[in-house]
Structure 1
Amino acid sequence: MTDRKNVYLFSKKTEEIEQKILEFRELGRKYGFKLVDHPKDANIIASFGGDGTFLQALQKTGFREDALYIGVNDGEFGFYTDFSIHDPDRIELAMQSDMVEVLRYPTLEVTTDDGQKFHCLNELSIRSNIIKTFVIDVYVDGLYFETFRGDGLLVSTPTGSTAYNKSLGGAIVDPKLPSMQLTEMASVNNNRYRTLGSPLVMGKERELTLKIVQDGNDHPIVGIDNEAMGIRHSHELHVKVSDRVVKTLRMKDNLFYHKVKRSFL
């Protein structure tokens, strides 16, 4: 991090975190780091909170490709937060040693039928906004694949595979595999509607198209990471693995499989 010294802080607003940030400011000054007031002036963006705060920091700062993102957790380590506000020694070690490395996480690019573009690090979810199933035609690279009826569909990144996707029975995917995974939410399978019935992992070169069939349930809830998006009257979503990556800092002794084991085993 020797060539990165301008830091923008994004945090949950709690008394404990605010107090800890004051301590870390002093630590940063010791090693020549400077706080900036706007993310555009930063080459390091540090989030203080959990994985949800880290995802919000990405959305609010526009998925900066020229910045390094660092997650500092207010509790246990998360999948995106390699540091803790309760362990300043580990943060100081990262500031002065070669025990850290930069990871490049793949993201998804989502395009609506009116041309709006979004990025997400965890997942795209599309769900019915009323207590009723809805229908989506699924296309892969423009080829009709299946017609889904159910509560919704989820498209996750490899890092997002351990979150909502896992709770739906999806596979955990190594982040070193640039890919996306389509997972069903309570699909209806009968003589009229037939789906694959299992998660589908697709490579980086694939493009997924989700077309909402107009049958009276025309305004689904579209979620990008942990935020519901204000998308209305959009009947078609195009999803692919983006060329844009998120650069994050982690300690070399905290691999992805350490995180999986710590969280689930």
Structure 2
Amino acid sequence: MRFAVVSKGDTKSNALTDKMMNYMLGMDMVLDEKSPEIVVSVGGDGTLLQAFHRYQHIVSDVSFVGVHTGHLGFYADWGQDEVERLIMALKNDDFEVVEYPLVEVMIHYDKVGMETKYLALNEATLRMTNGSTLVMDVDIRNRHFERFRGDGLCISTPSGSTAYNKALGGAIIHPSIEAVQMTEIASINNRVFRTVGSPLVLPKHHFVNVRPVNSEEYQMTIDHVNLVHKGVKSIQFSVAEEKIRFARFRPFPFWQRVHDSFIS
């Protein structure tokens, strides 16, 4: 089996990464950082996000597994004291592959034919670069829905619904549901300006298209990656055809993870 390991970069994670790599190489597993079959992240959920973006160009051919060196995460669910068991399971192909939906972000520019595509595992957020009010016409399935005014918009995946989306008051969605969720960030609602004021959950065959009212610079955050875009004509958000694949070795129910993270 070809593998790669992505570390958080702190002392504890680097030491565990070295230990795991030596163990895996000693079991005749092949280190292949260009085209791995399995990517192990060592650190936390943020580290797995980094691993996903590093290998998203081969996302259909690689599976991810997360080892946490701090607190149990939604993606990093293996502890430091379990790595030998994990590696043995990898060596023996003793796992199943589960797939979670991603958000596709397609940015179309004023210049004809120019577009950029991104994939998000947790969420994509849209704001103004200068901190002023974001004004966007929002279309759903090519029909005008509303003119949004506020700090920004957050479009999340089901697995990412427990992250920033939850902090914004969005719903928690089970990752078996192929959907995207659009949640407002501090929308302006008064006698003059109105928005729906509630998160919207869209199925796979629907999509959101936002169109700038004014030509400005926009800050797009794809998970942890901050980008600035100019000359934007429209941005489309939808459920991606691609999915992220996780190597699952044991039952770890989603609602149990939600309970352990926010209640217990």
Q: TM-score when scaled to structure 1? A: 0.90
Shift of 1:96: 6.2
Query: What's the counterpart of residue 13 of structure 2?
Result: 17
Q: Which residue of 2 aligns with 1:246?
A: 244
Give the 3 Å change call, closer, same or farther, for CA 97–35 of structure 1 in structure 2. Answer: closer
How far apart are the structure 2 equivalents of 1:164 and 1:111? 21
Which shifted more, 224-233 or 204-213?
Answer: 224-233
Closer, same or farther: CA 223–123 of 1 in aligned 2, 3 Å: same
223-232 or 98-107, which moves further after superposition?
A: 98-107
- What's the secondary structure of 1:236's corresponding residue? strand
Give, as a single letter, the amino acid of the residue that structure 2 aligns with 1:223.
Answer: T
Question: Does structure 1 conserve the Cα–Cα contact (< 8 Å) formed by 2:179 and 2:204?
Answer: yes
Structure 2 partner of 1:70: 65
> 1:117 corresponds to which residue?
117
* Letter paired with 2:20: F
1:236 aligns with 234
Deviation string, structure 1 residues 5-60 (Cα, Å, up to 9, x no partner): 10012222222222212221233245432212x322x1111111211111111112
Paired residue for 1:35, among 17, 31, 35? 31
Q: Name the structure with the higher strand share.
A: 2
Alignment of 1:21-100 (within 5 A): 21-36=17-32, 38-40=33-35, 42-63=36-57, 64-92=59-87, 94-95=89-90, 100=95
Kindly report structure 1 stretches of 4+ aligned residues shifted beyond 3 Å: 29-32, 92-100
Deviation, structure 1 residue 62: 2.4
Letter of the 1:83 counterpart = W
| 249-258 or 166-175: bigger deviation | 249-258
Identity %: 34
> Structure 1: how far apart are the matches of 2:218 and 2:81?
41
Q: How many residues align?
A: 257
Partner secondary structure for residue 194 of structure 2: coil
- Contact 2:138–2:147 (CA under 8 A) maintained in structure 1: yes
CA displacement at 1:132 relative to structure 2:
2.2
TM-score normalised to structure 2 length: 0.91
User: Could you list the runs of 5+ residues in structure 2 that have no partner in the other structure?
Assistant: 109-113
Q: Which amino acid aligns with 2:49?
A: L
Please state how far the C-alpha of 1:130 moved relative to its aligned partner: 2.2
